[in-house]
A and B are shown apart, each in its own frame.
Chain A
């Protein structure tokens, strides 16, 4: 079965500082990995995805994530936080083949301090 663990339910950074949101996955087969963002009172929006191509994936709004098989990690980073980045971030995994659903982590709330 697939699962993801997001370390830290709440991360707080200063505006302009590095954003690092951690995600570790567990999968019995090669996974596809995703980061979604949820702004207050809105649905989820795809930030970026890893689907077995390049291990460093660039997404929207300056975010990127690196798939590290040896560490079973897919951490999300952004060099410089902006106030508008404050939101809930979800890591998700699913099998790279077959008809299986997305499995989401418990989310990490990012606060950006002025």
Chain B
């Protein structure tokens, strides 16, 4: 059971817009910790897609955008392309009585129909 909750799967047709949610709590996203997003293509290492809630590293297309509100964050992908088919993970920091550290969402598999 991941500390951050993501939908197991989402899908969309080429050209469409999809969003992936990442739901946390008052000990992580709600506490003000930043959310980062990663894309993992099949058989490869994860790649940083969004950092600091809404910032794109150099080279990431502006079709990818991130937002954060309250105890949740979202990744939006517009103009869906076949090469976007991958697993997507959100990441933040969690600080609670039981300990603290980096936490990941369970991952969301994006299927391009």
The answer to whether A and B assemble together is no
Chain B residues with a Cβ under 8 A of chain A: none
